[in-house]
């Protein structure tokens, strides 16, 4: 289906020489990864993702939390980047623009589409490390063929459990990641906010900060969000429809 580009958005994209794209779970939705706030189905529908993705959840029950992350690793491995991820990678290859991606997503779909990601502000699922000595863990991660409710995490050489490289509620953001995203927003002449509900801070503060510095901000999201009143232009479209249409319209 043809995706109509709002003329002002196209004009901003044509003129922009520095574009920063802020992405959230909606970016990967059309690859088949459910967003954070989608109603879950199956085994994990009985559990609250917010408590699984937390330091307290891990300390209370590492086997439950690991089983959930093992299932998520399986989901990420089994899907492919979508047309939106590929469009951003193509856009970044143009000589007339510097394009930065700062994402809340812990998957590797931007990278698998060929993009370099400036900042994974909420960490990277596949960057496993020891939960105590912090040593990176490189051995392959086994994912059960069927989701299970409990799974013992791998064990580091130091004898402690290995954990995913994500940021849990109650933890600090990876050093430098937020600052890199912030700098990229401030030096941009266009910020696109794609597929995020804008609920989780400090990431959700970036559009307002950019606007405060006179940088135009466009939201690409099929639904209204917490950010919709804080952007200059709204494009109600999905990531995998809007981004390829926009990049194609920029021409060669
Ligand atoms: P959410 O699940 O909160 O929001 C997903 C957004 O994507 C919603 O606004 C949807 O309308 C939108 N969306 C759905 N399908 C889309 C599509 N095809 N194209 C574009 N947009 C689409 O996900 P996030 O905003 O990423 O943090 O969540 C932010 C953080 O909350 C996550 O990084 C995670 C979670 O708690 C941590 O784990 C620290």
Give the residue whose CA is nearest to atom 32 of ligand 1.
Answer: 104
**Distance between CA atoms of 250 and 178, rounded to whole angstroms?**
29
Q: pLDDT tens digits for 58-96?
A: 999 999 999 999 999 999 999 999 999 999 999 999 999
Q: State the distance from the centre of ligand 1 to the C-alpha of 157, rounded, in angstroms.
A: 35
Which position among 85, 86, 100, 122 bears the catalytic label?
Answer: 122
Do both 238 and 150 map to the same domain?
no
* pTM (2 d.p.): 0.96
What CATH number should be reported for the domain holding residue 10?
3.40.50.1220
pLDDT for 1 equals 60
Residues 92 and 28 in one domain: yes
Chain centroid to Cα 45, Å, comes to: 21
- Atom 19 in ligand 1: which residue has the minimum CA distance? 238
Separation CA 203–CA 75 (nearest Å): 24
| Number of domains the chain contains | 2
Q: How many A from CA of 107 to the centre of ligand 1? A: 13
One domain for residues 204 and 129: no
* Same-domain status, 25 and 46: no
* φ and ψ at residue 165, rounded to 5 degrees: -85, 35
Q: Are residues 135 and 116 in the same domain?
A: no
> What are 138-151's pLDDT values in tens digits?
999 999 988 899 99
Query: Is 230 marked active-site?
Result: no
Taking 80 as the threshold, does the pLDDT of residue 41 lie above it?
no
More confident call, 127 vs 47 = 127
Ligand 1: residues with CB < 6 A are: 24-26, 29-30, 35-37, 53, 104, 122, 167, 194-197, 199-200, 221-223, 225, 238-239
Report residue 203's pLDDT band, with 50, 70 and 90 as the boundaries.
very high
Q: Is the pLDDT assigned to residue 51 strictly greater than 90?
A: no
pLDDT of res. 120: 98
Return d(Cα 52, Cα 60) in angstroms, integer: 10
- Write out the residue range of the structural domain in which residue 228 sits: 1-32+80-122+173-252
The 10s digit of each residue's pLDDT in 153-187 is 999 999 999 999 999 988 999 889 999 999 999 99
């Amino acid at each position: 289906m043809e995706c109509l580009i709002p003329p002002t958005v196209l004009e901003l994209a044509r003129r922009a020489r520095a574009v920063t794209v802020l992405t959230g779970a909606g970016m990967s939705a059309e690859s088949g990864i459910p967003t954070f706030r989608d109603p879950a189905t199956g085994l994990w529908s009985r559990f609250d993702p917010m408590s699984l993705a937390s330091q307290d959840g891990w300390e209370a029950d590492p086997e439950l939390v690991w089983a959930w992350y093992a299932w998520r690793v399986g989901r990420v491995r089994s899907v492919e980047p979508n047309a939106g991820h590929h469009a951003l990678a193509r856009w970044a290859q143009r000589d007339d623009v510097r394009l930065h991606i700062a994402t809340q997503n812990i998957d590797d779909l931007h990278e698998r589409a060929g993009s370099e990601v400036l900042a994974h502000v909420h960490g990277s699922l596949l960057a496993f490390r020891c939960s105590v000595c912090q040593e990176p863990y490189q051995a392959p991660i086994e994912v059960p063929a069927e989701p299970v409710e409990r799974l013992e995490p791998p064990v580091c050489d130091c004898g402690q459990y290995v954990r995913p490289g994500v940021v849990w509620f109650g933890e600090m953001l990876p050093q430098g990641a937020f600052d890199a995203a912030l700098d990229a927003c401030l030096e941009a002449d266009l910020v696109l906010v794609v597929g995020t509900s804008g609920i989780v801070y400090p990431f959700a503060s970036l559009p307002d900060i950019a606007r405060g510095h006179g940088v135009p901000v466009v939201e690409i999201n099929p639904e209204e969000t917490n950010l919709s009143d804080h952007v200059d232009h709204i494009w109600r479209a999905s990531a995998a429809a809007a981004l390829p249409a926009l990049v194609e319209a920029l021409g060669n």
